[in-house]
Amino acid sequence: MVEIALMVVAALIIGYSKTALGGLAVISVAIFATIMPAKESTAAILAVLMVGDLIACWHYRRDADWSLIRRLLPAVLPGLVLGTLFLRVVDDTVLKRSIGGVLLVLVLLQLWLKTRGSGATASATHERPAAAWSAGTAAGFATMTANAAGAVMTLYLSASGIDKRRFVGTNAWFFLIVNATKVPFSVGLGLMHWSDAGRALALAPAVLLGGLLGYATIKRISQARFDVAVLAASAVAAAALLVR
């Protein structure tokens, strides 16, 4: 009974994160990892994340910045391949804490840029090919190993300076594509099964409720508060991975 309640809470957070603050989804990753083996949990939560992706893409179907998505996607596949190889050989806990540490450094860097008042510089930085390839590869690696790419994308999109609806819409469509691409990798590793799809369908109402709450939040929150909130969510995501 406790496990079911925890999964429902995780599903609510996923729905909310997909339509509002992307970095928070890693809290759900941590919840799933406490109630099932870590590697199996990555595939189990992937199915739930894809439900959230579909809900978010419906809400923000006209808000994606496809130029940003096209800039990032080519670098994701190498990250997925690297993540798959690491899942075979690297200790799960050490890897996730390493990712958490990297995310925390990125959050601090983004805060430093903002406090310097260098928004224009940060906005220009994301357009550089090296930045796009670094973010795309990191997102692919982090999502394959820890389902933790939400914070990576949050930091990249925050640096781009786009408004909150385009921010969330771009994030939603990017992860729908990436998570769908991850399915064959998870199946190939023997981690994803039909039972994961059944669990995701059972949790879909909770994901939908969380998505509606997140959508309502975006409609009411100011752009300035949204910018602060996404960085705070990234910091929470990093902390969740570090203590997991």
SS3 string of 99-158?
A: HHHHHHHHHHHHHHHHHCCCHHHHHHHCCCHHHHHHHHHHHHHHHHHHCCHHHHHHHHHH
Alpha carbons 8 and 220: distance in angstroms, whole number: 25
pLDDT at 116: 59
Q: Give the span between the Cα atoms of 52 and 213, in whole angstroms.
A: 13
Q: What is the mean pLDDT of the chain?
A: 81
pLDDT for 12-43, tens place per residue?
999 998 998 877 777 787 788 778 876 778 78
**CA dist., res. 20 & res. 6, Å (int):** 21
Question: Can you read off the two tokens belonging to residue 113?
Answer: 């840029």
Name residues whose C-beta falls within 8 Å of residue 46's C-beta, 6 or more positions apart in sequence: 147, 179, 182, 183, 186, 192, 196
pLDDT on residue 240:
67
Give pLDDT, residue 53.
Answer: 94
Q: What does the block give as tokens for 161? A: 């300076």
**Cα angle for residues 133, 134, 140 (degrees, 5° grid):** 85
| Contacts with 189 (C-beta within 8 Å, 6 or more apart), sequence order | 39, 43, 84, 87, 88
- Alpha-carbon gap, residue 1 to 103, rounded angstroms: 33
What's the gap between Cα 42 and its chain centre? 13
Give the pLDDT of residue 148: 72
pLDDT at 6 over 80: yes
What pLDDT, in 10s, does the model give residues 106-134? 667 666 655 655 444 445 555 677 778 88
Higher pLDDT, 49 or 160: 49
Residue 115 identity: T
Question: Which residue pairs, CB below 8 angstroms and at least 24 apart, start in 4-8?
Answer: 6/31, 6/34, 6/35, 7/31, 7/32, 7/35, 7/199, 7/203, 8/203, 8/206
| Those residues with Cβ within 8 angstroms of residue 179's Cβ, 6 or more apart along the chain or in another chain | 46, 49, 50, 53, 143
The answer to which of 32-46, 116-130, 149-163, 219-233 has the lowest mean pLDDT is 116-130
What number of residues does the chain have?
244
Tell me the domain boundaries of the chain.
Answer: 2-243
Name residue 88's amino acid: R
Least confident of 2-11, 137-146, 234-243: 234-243
Q: Residue 191: which H helix or E strand, with range?
A: none
Per-residue pLDDT band at 241 (split at 50, 70, 90): low
**CA distances in angstroms from 161 to 120, 140, 151, listed in the order given:** 8, 22, 16
Count CB-CB contacts under 10 A for residue 166: 17
pLDDT of residue 92 exceeding 80, the answer is no
Pull the structure tokens for residue 167: 């921010």
Give the global pTM. Answer: 0.80
